[in-house]
Chains A and B, each alone.
Chain A
Amino acid sequence: MLHVEQTADRCIKCNVCNTVCPVSAVTDLFPGPKYEGPQGQRFRAGIDTGDSPDHSLDYCSGCGLCTQACPEGVMVAEINQVARERLVTARGGLGLRDKLISRPSLMGRLARPVAPLANLLMAARPVRLAVEKAIGVHRAAAMPRFSGTTFRSWARHHRAPSDATRTVAYFHGCAVQEFEPEMGAAVVRVLERNRVRVTFPRQACCGLPLVSNGGFDAGRAAAVRLVGRLRAAADDPGVIVANSTSCGMTLKAKYRELLGMDDAATRAVSRAVYDICEYLLELADEDALDRSFAPLPAKALYHPPCQLMAHGVGTPALDLLAMVPGLEVERSRAGCCGTAGTYGTKVEKYQIAMDVGASLFEQVAQARPDFVVCDSETCRWHIAKATGLPVYHPVQVLDRAYQV
């Protein structure tokens, strides 16, 4: 397999990547993936000064749509991410803001004892203004709500049913642990309903926010730690499900592609990871999925996150949601909601994220759904803030249809 940067040689300059880039469509601060990626790469190759021909590549959101559109196999977005790391290193590493927003579990842990107060403060406009001024997190950017309890404390008290016929390990990640324990509970309930026993291996942050902000060394340290903790689960039970599409994508591919981790342990963990909907659809394919969903007479708009499309498994959530009687689902036409992880929280990029998401928000306004469905947590927070509608993970919808 070619190294990410070597794939630049496959570029035939056809501009297909530029036609799908949601960022260059709304701002000329980013000229487009072709210029920054394969073309810029000619000027970076062999240059060890760490300097980059064009610093505007920091405006790449990393959504990865360019890589998926490229008919020639150029890893456009990944070339940009590797180049960004050099840019960040040349600047002396991550700045304070990027260090903070790259450590969701640290933020969650710090706020946990005072979660109600922290949530109250983060909802207060003067506080958000001060945060914007002090560190550069945009005052209007969607923020997760801190949780007073963690997912693992829920899991410790959870009694698993005894009728399981198979077992999976659950990688809940930071978001479920610190911000959305109820999301994790829904994952566990839906799996157990299908006679799947769920284990909770010790884990930690996958390092994605660090990697996407250009902090590869810190990201690699997180990756190595997590691979060590998940290594045993990769052999037994052999399946690790994740409901965060971006963390799942990182575990599956980005350790290898971006961090150059190609050891046996990383490969074993990568191969064991399944997106939760991918796994549930495999159960359905084996006729092992309980399809006795109660009717949910409602209209939903489903937005497949850009990072889900980087799994290469299509949109399994659409097939699952189609099994729920009465639920009408319209598919989003947008390739990206705009926020792309932490990108849309930054003061200099918030407006770009809103402009990128505008076509999705317009489609929502026209379709007038009862709720939006999206697999990725940062996208859910961003879409909920922008549309004012409830936004659920597909598994939360299935969980509800099982319980009605």
Chain B
Amino acid sequence: MRADVVVVGAGPAALATAVRLAEAGRQVRVIARGNGFTHWGAGAVDALGRLGGERVERPLEAVGRLPEDHPYRLAGEAALRDGLDWFARFAAAAGLAHAGDPDRNRDQVTALGVLRPTCLLPEPAAGPLSGRVAVVNFEGFRDFSPALCAAGLRGAGVDAVPASVPLPPWDHARYFTAVELARAIDDDDFRRRLAPGLARAAAGADVVVVPAVLGVRGGHAPWADLQRLVGTPLVEAATAPPSIPGLRLFAAYRRRLDALGVGWQFGFPAVGVERDGDRVTAVRSEGASREVVTHCQELVLATGGVAGHGIEANRDGTLAEVVAGLPVEGFPDRTAFLGERFLGEHPLGAAGVRVDAELRPMNASGSPVHANVRCVGGLLAGHDPTVEGSREGVALATATRTAELLAPTPTPAT
């Protein structure tokens, strides 16, 4: 196998990097151990939600206050702005228009009734929660409690009341999750039968919050249609995985990759590289019966941190980057393993690969380990995407920087 650029990973950083490089004319191949963060996330584009324990209102402005080794400082503020702009255009062209701008954070409502700061929101999640809010679940959907969500919102000062509506008779009454429900809502007729009950539950409310299940195959069109039928603004709340907004986005990325001729293989992790001097010449990935070798000129690692399996912890307390064996920093001592809170500040969350200004992994003395390897997204040291709320922004900024470096725009002839 052979490609100009191999991108390893399937999360926000990998998908954006692969598309941007292919759009710039590079021949790209994607290898991933499985699906990535799109399926787990809240379905919004976080740029910078928290800094020093405080909520950030102006993410782009706050970038200047980040440490110098933060991925945003390395990629540059311009790369973040350009990445967010590119994403907004890409998503809108795919029928997934987003609201928001990089200069001001917005609120995303979650299933717990928390208002989390984020930068760009898919339109179905973007409506303001003003006036009287009805929080409505679809009966039988177990991943959303309207009482819990409404209580959380009341705590945040929103006038919210819980309600639920029965589902029309359908084929999946026996077993369903967000996915089956979203597929049912893709169907015009199902929406028509669902709308009257939802309208009754919405009576007297200015806004209706529902779990993020309003269609998965038709982009945002099923949401817009149901909102029209109900006659009240509908706002999707982020729910537990699988993330329906993430599935919509993943499908859009894959369609784009297919249209650009980017080959991909999921389910078989990259496990090593071949080298010639300071260059990586090929990636080795698992295959059905023997390792598959994909030769490349450039390698982009978008494998994520510990949760994404880009980094693995060894029993002796050291950390290892799994594909190229790059040095990993940010994990001081095994006793630090015991954090106070699940997904709270934990040194593993910020562990990563240290890179230079061209996103090349560095060794302890600060020089690049490989001339043609770039690291993007959650794999990078110097940030904790979960705690600071920066995952998609770092993905897009570093994808943009990588595209600039590996596929420079040809200078017009003078």
Interface residues of A (CB under 8 A from B): 14-16, 18-20, 24-25, 27-28, 31-32, 35, 67-73, 249, 251-253, 256, 270-271, 273, 281-282, 285, 309-316, 318-319, 322, 331, 333
Interface assignment of B172: CB less than 8 Å from any CB of chain A: yes
Give bound CA distance, A292 to B269, whole Å: 35
Give A329's nearest chain B residue, CB to CB: B261
Residues of A within 8 A of B254 (CB): 333
Residues of B within 8 A of A249 (CB): 288
Q: Please indicate which of the listed interface residues A14, A35, A310 has the most CB atoms of chain B within 10 Å of its own CB.
A: A14
Give bound CA distance, A70 to B309, whole Å: 12
Residues of B within 8 A of A322 (CB): 261
Interface assignment of B34: CB less than 8 Å from any CB of chain A: yes
Residues of B within 8 A of A28 (CB): 171-176, 180
Give B265's nearest chain A residue, CB to CB: A314
Q: Which of A271, A281, A282, A314 contacts B289 (CB 8 A)?
A: A271
Interface assignment of B297: CB less than 8 Å from any CB of chain A: no
Q: Please indicate which of the listed interface residues A28, A32, A309 has the most CB atoms of chain B within 10 Å of its own CB.
A: A28
Q: Which of B31, B33, B173, B255 contacts A71 (CB 8 A)?
A: B33
Q: Which of A71, A271, A309, A316 contacts B35 (CB 8 A)?
A: A71
Q: Judging by beta carbons under 8 Å apart, are A312 and B241 in contact? A: no
Q: Judging by beta carbons under 8 Å apart, are B1 and A270 in contact? A: no
Q: Which of B2, B29, B31, B34 contacts A16 (CB 8 A)?
A: B34
Cβ of A74 to closest chain B Cβ, rounded Å: 9
Give bound CA distance, A32 to B242, whole Å: 13
Q: A16-B39, A28-B171, A68-B267 are in contact. Are A331 and B179 (CB under 8 A)?
A: no
Chain A to chain B contacts (Cβ below 8 Å), 24 pairs:
A14-B241, A14-B242, A15-B242, A16-B39, A19-B179, A24-B175, A28-B171, A28-B180, A68-B34, A68-B267, A70-B34, A73-B269, A270-B288, A271-B290, A281-B1, A282-B1, A309-B265, A310-B288, A311-B288, A313-B292, A314-B265, A315-B263, A316-B1, A333-B258
Give bound CA distance, A18 to B29, whole Å: 26
Q: Mark B1-45, 1 if CB is under 8 A from A, else 0.
A: 110000000100000000000000000010101111001100000
Instruction: Using A19-B39, A31-B174, A285-B295 as known contacts, list a sample of 15 further A-B pairs with CB atoms less than 8 Å apart, ordered by residue number in A.
Output: A15-B179, A28-B180, A68-B266, A68-B268, A70-B35, A71-B36, A253-B288, A256-B289, A282-B1, A285-B2, A310-B288, A313-B1, A314-B29, A314-B265, A318-B261
Give bound CA distance, A176 to B2, whole Å: 30
Residues of A within 8 A of B247 (CB): 19
Residues of A within 8 A of B295 (CB): 285
Q: Mark B274-304, 1 if CB is under 8 A from A, else 0.
A: 0000000000011111101001000000000
Interface residues of B in 230-257 (CB under 8 A from A): 241-242, 247, 254-255
Interface residues of B in 32-84 (CB under 8 A from A): 33-36, 39-40
Interface assignment of B177: CB less than 8 Å from any CB of chain A: yes
Compute the total of residue contacts between A and B using a CB distance below 8 Å.
Answer: 121
Give bound CA distance, A186 to B405, whole Å: 44
Q: How many residues of B contact A (CB 8 A)?
A: 45
Interface assignment of B183: CB less than 8 Å from any CB of chain A: yes
Q: Judging by beta carbons under 8 Å apart, are B40 and A14 in contact? A: yes
Give bound CA distance, A32 to B183, whole Å: 14
Q: Which of A35, A69, A282 contacts B266 (CB 8 A)?
A: A69
Residues of A within 8 A of B175 (CB): 24, 28, 31-32, 35
Residues of A within 8 A of B263 (CB): 314-315, 318-319
Q: Judging by beta carbons under 8 Å apart, are B35 and A69 in contact? A: yes
Residues of B within 8 A of A72 (CB): 34, 309
Give A31's nearest chain B residue, CB to CB: B175
Q: Judging by beta carbons under 8 Å apart, are B289 and A252 in contact? A: yes
Give bound CA distance, A333 to B264, whole Å: 12
Q: A68-B266, A271-B289, A273-B289 are in contact. Are A15 and B34 (CB under 8 A)?
A: no
Q: Please indicate which of the listed interface residues A70, A249, A322 has the most CB atoms of chain B within 10 Å of its own CB.
A: A70
Give bound CA distance, A153 to B289, whole Å: 31
Give B170's nearest chain A residue, CB to CB: A28
Q: Which of A19, A270, A331 contacts B258 (CB 8 A)?
A: A331
Q: Judging by beta carbons under 8 Å apart, are A312 and B34 in contact? A: no
Cβ of A362 to closest chain B Cβ, rounded Å: 11
